Amino acid sequence: MAYLQEQLLEAQKKEHVLQNQLSQLTEENQKLLGQLAEHKSQEDCAVREERDLMLQLKKVVDMQRDQIRTLTHETRQKNKDTEVLQEQLDRFMKMNEDLRHKMSVLQAQLKSSLQRKTELEALLQEKQKENVTMSKTCVVAPGIPDSNMLLNDERIPSFLLCGAISAIIKQRKKIEAKMLGITESATSSSDEEDNTWMQTPGTDCVVSKPSDSIIRSLFGMWYSKPTADTEPWEIISPKEINQEQKLETSNEND
């Protein structure tokens, strides 16, 4: 009996120890389950945060892609506009160069025209001075008869009258040739045609009323007070020459 009681006590002690161990294991198991639940919840939060972050990154990437496409389109359009503007600039530069060339040519022509005008004006003034000097010499020089005496004479030598007329006509033709810019050879034929009417026989010319008017027209520049019938010889101005040229061109066109 004592042996059985001892075994029973030992069995009770072992049972008590096992119960303590079981309770400890149960507590540890509960702790581990709690830790596992917390870990799972933390993992779920991390996964959720990672998913949200990926969605945000995707939105940002899509927005940047759209911006890049828009900027690329704008860049291409600006390149096209730049090419068009460059072509227009090249065309305008070419037109500007042509206009500058034309302007330089026109300035050179204007300069030459002004120089030519100055030369013609100087030549005209010189001729006028020569004519005034010649008229004064003819009036003042002794031994030369006055023009009124020539006009009042009944007969004048034909060679004197023809020579005076020929000299005046040649001088006038030279002035016209210099003003028009042509050579004297071009006007020689017209001079010969104008001088044919002056070729008369070796007899003296009888001064009648028509010849009186011709003489007065030739020597009218020597009179201080010409009469109403006289037509004094005058030097043709450049304006009158231009008007005659315009009339001739208009007649040719008609």
Each residue of 114-140: pLDDT tens digit? 998 899 888 888 888 888 888 777 654
Task: List pLDDT tens digits, range 159-191.
Answer: 566 677 777 888 777 777 776 666 555 555 555
- Per-residue model confidence (pLDDT) at position 239: 57
Distance CA 65, CA 71 (A): 10
Distance CA 235, CA 175 (A): 8
Mean confidence (pLDDT) of the chain: 72
Distance CA 148, CA 219 (A): 9
The structural domains of the chain, with segments of one domain joined by +, span 82-144, 145-253
Q: Residues in the chain with pLDDT < 50? A: 140-155, 193-194, 196-215, 218-219, 221-235
Distance CA 225, CA 29 (A): 155
**Please, is 161 exposed, middle or buried when counting C-beta atoms within 10 Å of its C-beta (0-12, 13-18, 19+)?**
buried
Structure letter (DSSP) for residue 228: S
Tokens of 190: 């017209």
From residue 102, how far is each of 93, 98, 128, 233 by CA, in Å?
A: 14, 6, 38, 43
- Which has the closest alpha carbon to 161: 227, 230, 210, 224? 210
- Per-residue model confidence (pLDDT) at position 165: 76
Distance from the Cα of residue 2 to its chain's centroid:
141
Tokens of 126: 């010189």
